[in-house]
Amino acid sequence: MKTRGFAVVDLETTGLHPAQNHRIIEVGVVHVDLDGQVTNRWETVVHPDRDLGPTHIHGLTGADMRNAPKFAEISDELRDLLDQRVIVAHNATFESRFLTAEWMRAGALDVEEFPGAWLDTMRLASRFLHGASRKLADCCAAYDIDVVNAHTALGDAEATALLLAAYLDASRGQRFWNRVLDAPFAAHSLRPLGRRGLAIARSSNAIMETAPLARVVAQLPADEAETDGEADYLALLDRSLEDALLTLAEAGELERLAAAHGITAERCRQLHSHYFEQVADAAWADGVLTNEEVAQLDALGHILSLNEAQIAAAKLTRAATKTAATEAPVALHPGHIIVLTGSMRRPREDWQQALEAAGFLAPSGLTKKTDVLVAADPDSLSGKAKKARQYGIPIVSEDWLEEQLGAIALV
């Protein structure tokens, strides 16, 4: 089957567990062509026939649902939007479970298995962004992609589409993409329902709040030792903690996901312990632990069923996280990884060609393996600059790079 490109999907839901009657309340779809260009956007809120769950996270209220279609009324249109396209999502396991449940409930699907393959940009981070966090915002920051309107289905789908485009640009011609493009979604795998409801976008004045614990969790780095199954498990844990609570239903869903991926109880305890230590490190990043952060660590430690000794140890003084020094003295050597950010005097493509000609690597994305970040403004607050400071990567100016390359050319 010839593919028409990609369909990037994101959902907002009433909770985390379709088995617990949680429902989809918003769908965003972005079409991306084979060159990584966005060609179409579609969004709608969806009436869930139940309460909306944590409105402080997704920002949707009863007023948004007043004329919203039900899922069965958008099923056929969504089916057509995905037809002959490779379906993409960030943490695709989550989207797949909810769409499967909704299509079964609507009568379009008979078996509890999504009728097609997914391309997961979260899992692809291990291929393109070694050492980057699994989170969408962090993966996007590595490419200086702004996540606009986070926690809206279309906003997150658009950010994921830009991340997909960055992956495509970084790997032109790789056979990997040929395999991916051989498995587009086929609309005939779903039963048409013959119902059409008008797609309705959310109101523009929705306000999302971020719980203090969620803000800390959002800063967590990646664990390069994670398997795909463990990445799925930790991504679900991230979502579960967005409201700083872990309900019995959420704990049960985590246990089921762990079992499905063959993650043992002992390995879960190790993941929880490491997760907690990462949160503690993030809280201590500025060298100070506030009363609010102490309360966060206490709450998280008990949520994760950790022992009191580990929770207490996390509140003891730790060194501040190392930050990169602007114009830090660094000796460049062939093979070093040099990443650029900002609008420079010289076109970025010219710089990349010059660096590669001199024996350096000049990828688009910043990871922990990056040796130097060259910034148009060394005091930049770009996504790459923020990640460089977090990773302790030196940030230097364009003038500095020019001098260094000039000196190398004279050797």
State the average pLDDT for the chain: 85
Asked if the structure places residue 207 within a domain, the reply is no
pLDDT digit string (tens) for 284-331? 877 788 888 888 888 888 888 899 999 999 888 766 555 544 445 577
* CA dist., res. 26 & res. 53, Å (int): 13
Asked if the structure places residue 194 within a domain, the reply is no
Residues 216 and 182 both lie in one domain = no
Residues 266 and 368 both lie in one domain = no
Asked if the structure places residue 29 within a domain, the reply is yes
Per-residue pLDDT band for 39 (boundaries 50, 70, 90) equals very high
Per-residue pLDDT band for 105 (boundaries 50, 70, 90) equals very high
- Decide if pLDDT at 193 tops 70: yes
| Backbone conformation region of residue 230, classed left if phi is above 0, alpha if psi is from -120 to 50, else beta | alpha
Residues 37 and 158 both lie in one domain = yes
pLDDT digit string (tens) for 199-242? 999 986 555 555 555 665 655 665 544 688 888 888 888 877 76
| pLDDT (0 to 100) of residue 210 | 54
- Decide: 244 and 156 in contact? Cβ < 8 Å: no
* CA dist., res. 46 & res. 23, Å (int): 9
- Decide if pLDDT at 43 tops 50: yes
- Decide if pLDDT at 147 tops 70: yes
Show the domain range for 180: 6-189
Domain with residue 70: its CATH number is 3.30.420.10
Number of domains in the chain: 3
Residues 87 and 170 both lie in one domain = yes
Domain with residue 364: its CATH number is 3.40.50.10190
* CA dist., res. 163 & res. 175, Å (int): 19
> How many whole angstroms from its chain centre is CA 209?
18
Asked if the structure places residue 404 within a domain, the reply is yes
Residues 185 and 38 both lie in one domain = yes
Task: Using alpha carbons only, give the angle 126, 132, 134 rounded to the nearest 5 degrees.
Answer: 75
Asked if the structure places residue 185 within a domain, the reply is yes
pLDDT digit string (tens) for 257-276? 888 888 898 999 999 998 88
- DSSP-derived secondary structure letter, 20: G
Residue located via tokens 């920002």 = 59
Name the phi and psi angles at 17, rounded to 5: -130, 100
Residues 223 and 178 both lie in one domain = no
**C-beta neighbour count of 258 within 10 angstroms:** 20
Structure tokens at 145: 């992609």
Residues 125 and 247 both lie in one domain = no
Per-residue pLDDT band for 150 (boundaries 50, 70, 90) equals confident
Structure tokens at 361: 């690597």
For the segment 75-103, the average pLDDT, to the nearest whole number, is 96
Residues 36 and 149 both lie in one domain = yes
3-state DSSP assignment of residue 340: strand
Helix spans in 30-152 (H): 55-58, 71-82, 92-106, 121-128, 136-141
The H or E element that residue 216 is part of is helix 212-217
Percent of the chain with pLDDT over 70: 87
For the segment 101-111, the average pLDDT, to the nearest whole number, is 95
Sheet with 38-45, edge to edge strand ranges: 38-45, 24-32, 6-13, 86-89, 118-120
| Backbone conformation region of residue 21, classed left if phi is above 0, alpha if psi is from -120 to 50, else beta | left
